[in-house]
Structure 1
Amino acid sequence: MSFHAHPDDEALLTAGTLARVTAEGHRAVIVVATSGAAGLAAANLTGTDLAERRLAELRRSAAVLGCARVECLGYDDSGMARAPAKAANAFAHADREEAAQRLARILREERADVLTIYDPAGGYGHPDHIRVHDVGVLAAQLAGTPVVLEATLDRRLLLRALRLVCFLPGVPRDFAPARFASAYTAPERLTHRVDVRRFSCLKRAAMAAHVSQAGGGSGLRTLAFLLRLPGPVFRWVLGHEWYVEHGRVAARPLLDDIFASLPRPS
């Protein structure tokens, strides 16, 4: 099961993993905390219209990846820390126990072996992403889910790539290296480097399903920029997905199998 804050988050950090595990015969489920109604989008998409649009896009993305089920916990999008949404039911401020019980119910129904969440900082500090980590850890404890993987990025590789491209024409301002100096995860803490290069076309299609998130705001959006990358470059940049297994001591080589910690059948 892959737990995310908003529709489109699943495509950016875990789509390749989801496509790979479904191709290997496993059942995959996506759960989002919110509909993403506070996200940037075209001016004619706001509120309920945007929420319905984004959930429909999520279902299309999940179908591309072969996922068997999509659920939304029904919380409101909290917005960014610098621009919070004024929502009474904002996920960032939700009762942790209540939200964890909702997620744990789905984990039990699915008898999930693995739950993906985010790292403790929520990657780049989005309040809803931080809450995904907190709620996900507790939900796994409540449901007895044995493996919890924090979806993240290798900070060193990310900063190296941003320094190479940040001055190119059309690169979003959000790609400034200074913004990510302490974001995501230092390489020595990583436990998994999952090779998803064979599934880069499916990952790209999952990202492309989120049409509403390719526009809106000022300048080129991150999703739109990544989708403009030529195929070989896309595969090179996004061909691996990174995780920290909750409670596991990092070691080398990094694991390529998200099920590696599960007992093997005798």
Structure 2
Amino acid sequence: MTADHRLLLVHAHPDDESIGQGATMAKYVAEGRGVTLVTCTAGEMGEILVPELEHLAADREDGLGLHRKGELAAAMKELGVTDHRWLGGFGTYRDSGMKWHEDGHAVAADDIHANAFWHADLTEAADHLVAVIREVRPQVLVTYDPFGGYGHPDHIQAHRVAMYAAQLAAVPSYRHDLGEHWDIAKIYWGAMSESRMRAGLRLIRDSGDTTTFEGMDPDGPLPPFVTSDENLAAAVDAQDVVDRKMAALAAHATQITTDGPFFALSNNVGSTAWGIEYYRIVKGELGPLGEDGLETDLFAGL
């Protein structure tokens, strides 16, 4: 990786990266910045939205993970990302699955596979990422918040692994065999703007659509993945490449349908729905701020 600016993203399953930071990734690639994605599992337990592929389900042929590997490769091609890794190598950790808690957030499933990511040894998993960090030497790391956005156990575990690995990678005396130590200058958690989400929901409801993001009231309580604007630190405007994000989303065909909520929001709100991506800062100093009081570049100030 020879780019002066290098971004590392750590995600749990294929499609998480395109949903959360697909536009940012495409923008930085277009600008000649380095973008590395680490995916922790192949999403073997995901829901299958394509009827003719239902035979790939975990309780049937159990071939969804390999199929989603191909979907992720296609999505990365749409975004222009050429450096993608599987944590520990493909198949090291399996999608843990999930179920819905009565309070509306995800929790661990009742039956979990032996090598489920949720049960991974934290130090072992972090060491896999330490080796990547020390090789790529990114200035910026992006991952989930401690709740993993909505409680999915693999998202929570990805957060833990990313944060712990960032600490370990910076220790000069830790695991010389994993490379020369590297301290990541800035760490962010991906976020969704509350004001932007409410505005989008309002437009959707005003259009007569009551099923997209069903149960969400523009003026009522919102899910935990929505972040109060006062807690946001950065907004990367990548509307000029949002078509690449939408193409990447479409590549994850078993998980995302073009008539589903992501595309419905985009159709109602336009490029701002998914072309502006928000972040909370965790480590590092804020750089110059834009007119709305937020950083416009994750590398600002470096």
- TM-score category (smaller protein): 0.7 to 0.9
1:44 aligns with 55
Tell me whether 1:123 sits opposite 2:123 in the alignment: no
1:126-151 deviations in whole A, cap 9, x for unaligned? 12112221111111122222221111
Determine the C-alpha separation between the residues in 2 that align with 1:76 and 1:112.
Answer: 26
1:188 aligns with 230
1:46-71 deviations in whole A, cap 9, x for unaligned? 23421011111111111111112111
Choose the corresponding residue for 1:109, options 131, 135, 146: 135
1:77-92 to structure 2, matched below 5 A, reads 77-82=95-100, 84=109, 85-92=111-118
1:90-109 deviations in whole A, cap 9, x for unaligned? 21232222111111111111
Deviation, structure 1 residue 202: 0.5
Structure showing greater radius of gyration is 2
Determine the C-alpha separation between the residues in 2 that align with 1:105 and 1:124.
Answer: 28
User: Is the Cα contact below 8 Å between 2:204 and 2:268 reproduced in 1?
Assistant: no
Of Structure 1 and Structure 2, which has the larger fraction of its residues in helix?
1
Give the number of aligned pairs. Answer: 256
**Percent of pairs with identical residues:** 36
Determine the C-alpha separation between the residues in 2 that align with 1:46 and 1:179.
Answer: 34
User: Is the Cα contact below 8 Å between 2:188 and 2:280 reproduced in 1?
Assistant: yes
Determine the C-alpha separation between the residues in 2 that align with 1:241 and 1:130.
Answer: 20
Deviation, structure 1 residue 247: 2.9
1:218 aligns with none
Residue segments in structure 1 that go unaligned for 5+ positions in a row: 216-220
Residues 1:115 and 1:140: Cα distance change in structure 2 (over 3 Å)? same
User: Is the Cα contact below 8 Å between 2:197 and 2:226 reproduced in 1?
Assistant: no
Deviation, structure 1 residue 160: 4.2
Residues 1:70 and 1:174: Cα distance change in structure 2 (over 3 Å)? farther
Residue segments in structure 2 that go unaligned for 5+ positions in a row: 1-7, 101-107, 170-182
Q: TM-score, normalised by structure 1?
A: 0.86
Q: Which moved more, 1:62-71 or 1:170-179?
A: 170-179
1:149-188 to structure 2, matched below 5 A, reads 149-165=188-204, 168-173=209-214, 175=216, 180-188=222-230
Deviation, structure 1 residue 123: 1.2
Q: Which amino acid aligns with 2:85?
A: E
User: Is the Cα contact below 8 Å between 2:266 and 2:273 reproduced in 1?
Assistant: no
Determine the C-alpha separation between the residues in 2 that align with 1:224 and 1:240.
Answer: 20
Deviation, structure 1 residue 182: 3.6
1:233 aligns with 269
Structure 2 SS opposite 1:199: helix
User: Is the Cα contact below 8 Å between 1:196 and 1:240 reproduced in 2?
Assistant: yes
Q: TM-score, normalised by structure 2?
A: 0.76
